[in-house]
Structure 1
Amino acid sequence: MQRTDVKHSLRYFRTATYGVPGFPEFVGVATVNEVQVGYCDSNIQTAKPKQDWMLKLIEKDPNHLEWYSQKCLLSQHVLRTDVNGLKQRLNLTKGPYILQRMDGCEWDDETGEIKGYNQYGYNGEDILALDLKTLTWIAPKPQAVLTKLTWDTMKARLEQYKDFYIYKCPDWLHLYVHHGRSFLQKKERPSVSLLQRTPTSVVTCHATGFYPETADIFWRRDGEEIHEAVEKGDILANNDGTFQMSVELNVSSVQPEDWKRYDCVFEFSGFKDDIIFKLDKSTIRTNWGKGSEGKGTHTRGQQRTTKKNTKINLENTTK
């Protein structure tokens, strides 16, 4: 089913490291609708806007940037203290150590629903998450229970969190969406290709260069979506602010005469027509032989996919 909801998000990603060569001890990133709008780290010691429309907003209100710069400095000290505390409580003796915090809010502009969150990860594992309804912490790991119990007693801090995630964060999100509307609400159709490394490899249906991220991609057989022998990847951000995603189909058990029963569908909220690629050897781009450039089939509106040589970039914002 095609997604029609429109959700906006303001997220803050903070990462504190110890014993990671060549990486700042602290990095902070702010995103609006998954687009990076601000950055700071322990080397530059200040916050920097990353979008022209964000820079114009800050020029009108310099205190806004000052708040972020102060928050950047404060977060360095807080997360460094948290790293040392968790090191002891989790009984870790060898590095490197990486503590990540992701917090912020989401706003559904159809329902008006507001959702706030604050969660921590340590060395790649989720360890703590804030329940805003009860104002208590959830500890999925037994080793983090002591930290949870300690943080649960910090009532003033918990109330500050509640005020920020329920009121201030959504207000700022509305402000950012308003000022960046022309950029954030742009719509870019993707380049879609069928890719295969070897004649026996999975066939990957890859879409890149689309915006916003309210999209879906899947394989069908005889017009029905399938999940068997299919593996879908996450939506990833490109350096230019657009997105990419892919879905793989294991064709090892598909008979040659049955290939025509399969197709890949890219659904895009805000566009009437889907982009549809038939599973056809002549449209597959390969590394093992002369392949086509993935012309694909026409969409339901009789429009052909426009090919853009968008560079595939698998780097994602640190979370």
Structure 2
Amino acid sequence: MSAANQIEATAARWLLRREDADWSAEDQARLDAWLDAAPAHKVAYWRLEQGWQRLDRLAALRAPASVAPSPRALLAWRPAALAAACAVMLVLGGTLVSRAYLPVEKSYATEVGGRAVVPLPDGSKVELNTATRLRAAVHSKTREVWLDRGEAYFEVAHDKSRPFVVHAGTKTVTVLGTKFSVRREGDRVEVAVVEGRVRVADSRPTHSPAPAPDLTRGEIVIAQGPSTLVAEKSVDRVTSELGWRQGVIYFDQSTLGEAAREFNRYNRKQVVVDDAELARMRIGGNFEATDVDAFLRLLQQAYGLKIDDDGAVAKISS
């Protein structure tokens, strides 16, 4: 059984156990602890709970109009119906038969050099940068996005009752309504805030007493593993970081090595700087992200550098 199906099965057991006459406050505390242990637990539990409520309504509709179903009959019917619904769901890989009342996780992706704008059901908007993959699940109780790789810009519709949570590696970004970007490369996560306030926290258990940082407009946090750095506040820097939304990348005293890596995110043709000293050379300017050839020509003209370009790889040397 897959991990997802194990979670669904556990959620089903909790729902069935909750119907027992001896359900106690201690039982409720254990259920709450299980729900709080992972977002996937809450999603699975709420899916089944919604399915159970739908089955209750169906039972009431099917009863003769002149005869209301007794509480005893409902209690006898509901566990059996829930068990049947759970069985169907597990067989179908975690998807209930009716999709009308369940949260649906959708996946979105862009290729190298591509961009895409994705509207979400709650009115939020996500803009995907090059080579990005994310998943989103938005429903009546939660709004969650998983950034598997790449970079995305979020304009979140304000909803105090449903925080918007972005999972990026071991970090979670939580907001109510704001504009911000998240970039993930392996275990390195960068968050830049355009508007509003966001909280960046570690999703793993930690013994650190330090509180999760709250970021406001113009702030950037860079996290890698257990380390987190909040950069000096700069609205201009955040604006530059989001230049990709117009297809532009900015360099301000960046090294040539950093510039090459940035161009490699957007282009099939890869730029290589073999010489370590040359890779530390500082450059500045703004460039069209997908026009690596123009960047290489400017390096030749401005610095007299040599370019060995075979169409797939461009090697830069002095």
Same fold (TM over 0.5): no
**Higher helix proportion, which one?**
2
Q: TM-score scaled to structure 1, two decimals?
A: 0.24
Q: TM-score scaled to structure 2, two decimals?
A: 0.24
RCO greater where, 1 or 2, for CA within 8 Å and sep 6 or more? 1
**Structure label with greater radius of gyration:** 2
